[in-house]
Amino acid sequence: MKRVLITGAAGFLGSHLCDRFIAEGMHVIGMDNLITGDIKNIEHLFPLKRFEFHHHDVSKFVHVAGELDYILHFASPASPIDYLKIPIQTLKVGSLGTHNLLGLARAKNARILVASTSEVYGDPLVHPQTEDYWGNVNPIGPRGVYDEAKRFQEAITMAYHTYHQLETRIVRIFNTYGPRMRVDDGRALPAFFSQAMLDQEITVFGKGQQTRSFCYVDDLVDGIFRLLMSDYVMPVNIGNPDEISILDFAKEVVQMVGKGSIGYRPLPKDDPQQRQPNISLAKEVLDWEPKVSRAEGMAKTYEYFKKVLL
């Protein structure tokens, strides 16, 4: 039986990855320090013999007994509200944590996939973003703690690949949504849903003309699984290229929930104005593209938030 270590296992994406690898018949070792993760996201897996959980900070030495076939490094704060609160931990998990896990992968002769992000492109001057674009990032701005942690993560991962011939994979994740998102994580979708459902003013920054492209979590997980099992070692964008302005997205949420008004706030510093993945590479090397429409994914996510909020 294949054994896989998933860091950030109690988080939004990590928990869905645990589900997928259990479904694939593997033994899953989940690891999380629970700074931003929630044990409730994986408690349904605890009765399974093929699942184990380690409460641990990967920025410290990581030990896993026995053989390992795969490592997926998804431990990191992922929303601005989190990484602005804990900037040092965010930098450490992207640097020290990645170094520790690359070392573990080398010791175990395991293939490792690291979770990078569309934020490596910063506030892009190229649209849509392709993997060969180097980005437009402010390293000392408020978002730099996350952006540069992920850029370093990519650099050290490629160094291990070229110097140690380690089997590595890099996924650049674009905006993703679905059940198990934290209501208070500060990102647009959970914020809009919770504000509308609680009949509060929906907060739109600037004029709401900045764009995002939202990918449903099941599609993203499938893309990640395909990348892990592929032979492709360079970074790959995984996301949904269906672009929408934040204002139009807020209006969709108001229409779905049936209540809510929109209010405007000043645009945060270094907030990206456009975010849309070019997924030509994923189509070519992974035979992957998203299947779940925003209408379908939003409906599923709304049902989840109803259970959490109402």
Annotated catalytic residue, options 70, 83, 121, 146? 146
Q: 209 is written with which tokens?
A: 């003309």
Dihedral sign (CA 291, 116, 91, 75): positive
Task: State how far the Cα of 288 lies from the Cα of 144, in Å rounded to an integer.
Answer: 30
The answer to whether 219 and 291 have CB atoms below 8 angstroms apart is yes
DSSP code for 202:
E
Task: State how far the Cα of 103 lies from the Cα of 160, in Å rounded to an integer.
Answer: 9
Task: State how far the Cα of 186 lies from the Cα of 181, in Å rounded to an integer.
Answer: 10
The length of the chain in residues reads 310
Question: Rg of the chain's alpha carbons, rounded to an integer?
Answer: 19
Which among 59, 74, 287, 28 is positioned nearest to 170, based on CA atoms?
74
Cis peptide before 128 (omega within 30 of 0): yes
Task: State how far the Cα of 295 lies from the Cα of 255, in Å rounded to an integer.
Answer: 12
Task: State how far the Cα of 250 lies from the Cα of 271, in Å rounded to an integer.
Answer: 17
Task: State how far the Cα of 185 lies from the Cα of 220, in Å rounded to an integer.
Answer: 19
Task: State how far the Cα of 52 lies from the Cα of 213, in Å rounded to an integer.
Answer: 34
**Is 302 designated active site?**
no
So which residues are the catalytic ones?
146
